[in-house]
Amino acid sequence: PGLDASSWLWSYDLKALQVSIPRHPALDAVLAGDVTIPCLITYLRPVPTAGTAGRRAVLGAPRVKWTFLAEGRELEILVARGDRVKVSEDYRLRASLPIFHRQYTNASLLLTELRPNDSGIYRCDVQHGIEDGHDILDLKVKGVVFHYREGSTRYAYTFAEARQACARIGARIATPEQLYAAYRGGYEQCDAGWIADQTVRYPIHAPREACYGDMNGFPGVRNYGVVDPQDMYDVYCYAQDLAGEIFLETAPDKFTLEEAAARCRALGAELASTGQLYAAWSGGLDSCSPGWLADGSVRYPIVTPRERCGGSLPGVKTIFLFRNQTGFPDARSRYDAYCFRGKGARAAGKGPFPPSSFGFRALSGQSRHLVATLSSQARLQICSDKARAPSCPLLPSGCREGAGLPRPRSGRVRVPCR
């Protein structure tokens, strides 16, 4: 009563169903963990029933469909109506609607055993009769597993020393679940390393000689089982949170290791640790500039692969002196520096610290790019193209100078080992 025909039609066209994914509190999605993405269904007016609408009646439960969107592709996760749920093969045993069968207004998605390539956009679609609605959420899975050794030699850590090595670089030793989640996300490394349960493992996607382990020609995570804690191996570390910011510092003549540390201190910061750089890379840091880190290594993070920046795979690239991926550069070599400033420290230009000379920063909690694959090591060697310094050994066989990589302003040449 009181509505003309046009007003009545307008009111009838209003959607009776709304779908929402609450943004607060923020979801905490970490590698190898679980996350529940909420999806709430609200009816703004009663759905027609047999008593009120005859043949237009809507019977039963709404239809729910969850999809995943990343890197230009759309993948169905599951479809549900009432107690019937069809889960796609890619998400079998990992995806479910734990509440929907009891409460048809709650279509929240539970996703378990999170992987790096679970980062992306999630869409909840709901249809009930002629009514429908949807909402989306961009999810970032935090945490990265990486292989670590100090520069001197391969397989140099006892189990206790492996734990200490990860702690020194701002990380912790990875768990079996974290290593497996990283493997499922594409991570591969043909180096045996300690894991938190005192086993020794390594992830392989492309089986090959010397990387068969206990699985012959099959892909998977190789496992030596529980090993004597005094045996010597590398280690797999895990980094997750970046409690501050990382920034690249440069100068016309670059820095020695000592100069790099002094420059970071002058900016109210410190040389970043390897774990911090991996966490920043996982959060989107991309820089084709090798720089010193606190452990004396030289590395650079690549999110978007390009041939002139370490090859066709994303990852944190490492400068090694030798073909077997050992040997950090001499401390007198000259590179840029990756500095870290913790939360609460006064930023450059605000207080007594001089401003940074390079503007790019990776901030805690920011994600500028979705990362689907974990680290790959770049076998690079740095030598002078004018005269080889005593600290720079002769090129190993299989290495050739130049190789199409950019020549730094300082005159050094990056030499990849094939």
Q: What is the reported pLDDT for 61?
A: 85
- Determine the Cα–Cα distance for residues 46 and 61; give it in Å rounded to an integer: 14
Measured CA to CA, the distance from residue 279 to residue 272 in angstroms comes to 11
Task: Give, in words, the CATH class of 144-238.
Answer: alpha beta
Asked if residue 253 lies in contact with residue 210, where contact means CB atoms within 8 angstroms, the answer is no
pLDDT in tens, 82-120: 889 999 999 999 999 999 999 999 999 999 999 999 999
Q: 329 with 319: CB under 8 angstroms?
A: yes
Is the Cβ–Cβ distance between 110 and 104 less than 8 Å?
A: no
Is the pLDDT at 362 greater than 60? The verdict is no
- Topology agreement, domain 144-238 and domain 241-418: yes
Dihedral angle of Cα 304, 310, 313, 318, to the nearest 10 degrees: -110
Distance CA 196, CA 173 (A): 6
For domain 15-139, give the fold.
Immunoglobulin-like (2.60.40)
Percent of residues, the chain, with pLDDT higher than 90: 66
Q: 44, exposed or middle or buried, with CB in 10 Å at 0-12, 13-18, 19+?
A: exposed
Give the residue extent of every domain in the chain: 15-139, 144-238, 241-418
Which residue matches tokens 């840091």? Answer: 285
- Angle CA 149–147–415, to nearest 5: 70
The predicted-structure confidence for 24-83, as pLDDT tens digits, reads as follows 989 999 999 999 999 999 998 776 554 444 444 445 789 999 999 988 889 999 999 988
Tell me how crowded residue 148 is: count the other CB atoms within 10 A of its CB: 26
Residue 349, pLDDT score: 47
Proportion of the chain above pLDDT 70, given as a percent: 76
Task: Please determine, for residue 345, whether its predicted confidence score (pLDDT) is greater than 80.
Answer: no
Q: What is the band of 1 on the pLDDT scale with cuts at 50, 70, 90? A: very low
- What number of other Cβ atoms are within 10 A of residue 183's Cβ? 22
Q: What's the pLDDT at 225?
A: 95
Q: Are 273 and 297 in contact (CB under 8 A)?
A: no
* Half-sphere exposure for 335 (CA within 13 Å, toward CB): 32
- Count how many Cα atoms sit within 13 Å of the Cα of residue 55 in the half-sphere of its side chain: 0
| Residue 107 token pair | 């279509």
pLDDT in tens, 397-416: 333 333 333 333 333 323 33
Q: CATH for 241-418?
A: 3.10.100.10
Q: What is the DSSP string of 106-140?
A: B-PEEE-S--GGG-EEEEEEEEETTEEEEEEEEE-
